[in-house]
Amino acid sequence: MRHLVFAVTALVASQASATPVDTAWFQKITQALYDALAGGDAQLWDKNLAPDCIYTSEDGLVQDKAELIKGIQPLPKGFSGGIKLRDFSTRPAGNAVVTHYFADEWEDVYGQHLKTTYVSTDTWAKRDGQWRMVATQTTVVPRDEDAVAVDPKAFVPLLGVYKVSPASPSDYRVFMKGDDLYGGRDEKSATRLIPLSPLVYFQAGSIHTMIFVMGKDGRVDEVREIHKYNELAYRRVPGGT
């Protein structure tokens, strides 16, 4: 019983001493940091990043503070854009605060409109009595690619059954529903293949790109699944339907 009382007392004391998190302040300063990017304002970032801050980008690039600050430049001529944060949340972590949020980015590139959503996690800690960002990591939220117009007649040479190996118990089946192409283990679980070209397709609802490959005879005999920078090859099953 004494051990239980001690544990409860310690927990209450810990909670009482925890510094309340001012979520509004963290959201305001983080939004200001993103607002500064379009104009290449590195001063605000220099002020709010800890000297030992580490940054991991959506492309897997890892930078220290000096490298990150150096890369903040105004958008080039013909470019414009901005970022709006949403679903912002904070969590205390000992003497640090972890923030988590989504960032909706829009960008115009010589009249072409782009939209990207990122999800980020930042860690802040007190340095000389002031909150400073000590780590930040960002990744892109996947979305379906926009379709390119392809004549459905181009789908016909792709239809059939493909396997990773003859020993594999599962197939990759390519078939049509109406004028759309589908791919998957079976018709029930298959999803639409969004055309990017007559031989390249994006698997809807995933991060997979499917590339159909022609053999020396000019017929499609393979499909390659591009997934997380790797290729997985499926060979056509002769006579498969």
pTM of the model: 0.82
Alpha carbon 62 to chain centroid, angstroms: 16
CB 52 within 8 Å of CB 66? no
Kindly report, residue by residue over 18-49, the tens digit of the pLDDT.
Answer: 557 899 999 999 999 999 998 899 999 999 99
In angstroms, the CA 203 to CA 142 distance is: 12
- In this structure, which amino acid lies at residue 211? I
Helices (H), the chain: 2-17, 23-38, 43-48, 65-70
Locate CATH 2.40.128 in the chain. Answer: 152-236
Which of the four CATH numbers 2.30.30.40, 3.10.450.50, 3.40.50.880, 3.40.640.10 does domain 2-140 have? 3.10.450.50
Q: Which residues of 71-87 are buried (b: 16+ CB within 10 A; e: fewer)?
A: ebeebeeeeebebebee
In angstroms, the CA 168 to CA 180 distance is: 27
The pLDDT > 90 percentage for the chain reads 84
The pLDDT > 70 percentage for the chain reads 92
- What is the CATH number assigned to the segment(s) 152-236? 2.40.128
Bridge partners (DSSP) listed for residue 139: 119
Kindly report, residue by residue over 194-223, the tens digit of the pLDDT.
Answer: 999 999 999 999 999 999 999 988 899 999
